[in-house]
Amino acid sequence: MHLPELGGQLVNGVLRSKLSHEPLRNTDISLALVGKTARCQFLKTDENGEFNFVLNYPGLCEIVIQPLKPVQSGYYVEFNQPFCTTFNDHIPPVFNLDSTKTEDINKAVISMQVNKIYEPFRIERNTTPMDVNAYDFFGKADKTIKMADYIELTTVREVLKEIVPDILVIKRNKEYLFKLVNLVNGSTDYNPLVLVDGVPFTNLAKLLEMNSRELERIDILNTRYYYTDYVFEGIVSFITKKGNLSSLEYDNSVFRQVFEGSPLPQEFYSPDHGTSTDGAYRIPDFRNTLYWKPDLSTGKDGNASIAFFTSDEPGDYTIIVEGIAADGSSGIVRIPFKVKEK
């Protein structure tokens, strides 16, 4: 049984103790995407140690799942299978090639080979990734300290001492704590959320000894931040130049996983020869599929229009329009047309 993925891809599984292999029940955990933009989610595992995150990010990314407070025994993550493991018993019939279509198939293969040859000479198509979650999850930082604006220091400890008066480093019971100056009332609050390359980080002793040359900037949120049931006394985000967590050695128990989100949207190649002025119209065009637009919508009058150029390949083509209305009714229409030889 799989939950419907209405808001994005579901990342779910079970958090377990490395020592006892028992689920970590009612444990506060985070999911973070590694990078120069902080994209974090926080929740509590249920009575079975299970979690459900909704990840709405296209393409490949690296995720880190970990408890907000270190688990002494260590932990590991068991991902649930996102795909169905049961299949229909129906066996499809043996494929038989229709010999009457041999000529059409041969023409299509040749057209595909011609297009492949001339592909490098076509105009670059827009393949820019979607601008999803372009900003840090906590919004705009109250203050950003760029290391390039200051003299070079040795460690992050020196950077905080000499450049960042908002953060006080306290050592208590052999452990380091951060105190952050609150912009609202001027008080200093313990334990802001500390991030490194977008990932929550609790080993402040190791962070303080990191070479400051590795650091690009520090983003600071000097006010209390609420995330559902969680309250953070400010946020301090350390961004390294590489932005991939390579500047710090993480505990081996930290779960890191390359995750493939939904495919990045790509623009279907349909050249506009009517406006081309750079000689692209001279490149042979042997497309078999002339136009494809999956997100076409009609206006209030129920009409929609498209325009496309045919290819250089003569033959019979068919326009297929399929649609579905808000009330669930659907329709389809097929319109044949012919491209003649010049």
Which pLDDT value is given to residue 99?
86
Q: Are 143 and 236 in contact (CB under 8 A)?
A: no
3-class DSSP state of 157: helix
- What are the average pLDDT values for consecutive 10-residue runs of the chain, which has 342 residues? 77 93 96 94 96 87 92 88 79 86 88 87 56 76 95 94 92 91 81 94 93 95 93 95 86 78 76 63 82 90 89 89 90 92 76
Say what the pTM is. 0.74
Q: How many helices (H) and strands (E) does the chain have?
A: 3, 19
Extract the tokens encoding 88: 């229909």
How long a stretch of residues is the chain? 342
The Cα 237–Cα 181 span in angstroms is: 15
3-class DSSP state of 247: coil
Q: Sheet of 255-260: strands edge to edge?
A: 39-44, 28-33, 60-67, 255-260
Strand pairing of 167-172 and 193-196? unpaired
Provide DSSP, 272-341.
-TTT--SSGGGS----SS----TT----TTS---------S--EEEEEEEEEE-TTS-EEEEEEEEEE--
Which pLDDT value is given to residue 280?
54
Q: Supply φ then ψ for residue 122, to 5 degrees.
A: -80, 165
Provide DSSP, 3-34.
---SSSEEEEEEEEETTT--B-TT-EEEEEE-
Residue 33: Cβ-neighbour burial (10 angstroms; 0-12, 13-18, 19+): buried
Which pLDDT value is given to residue 1?
62
Alpha-carbon distances of 339 from 110, 209, 271, 311, 333, rounded to whole Å: 17, 70, 17, 8, 20
What's the first-to-final CA gap in the chain, in angstroms?
57
Question: pLDDT tens digit string along 161-203?
Answer: 999 989 999 998 889 999 998 888 777 778 899 999 999 999 9
Q: Are 190 and 177 in contact (CB under 8 A)?
A: yes
Which pLDDT value is given to residue 77?
93
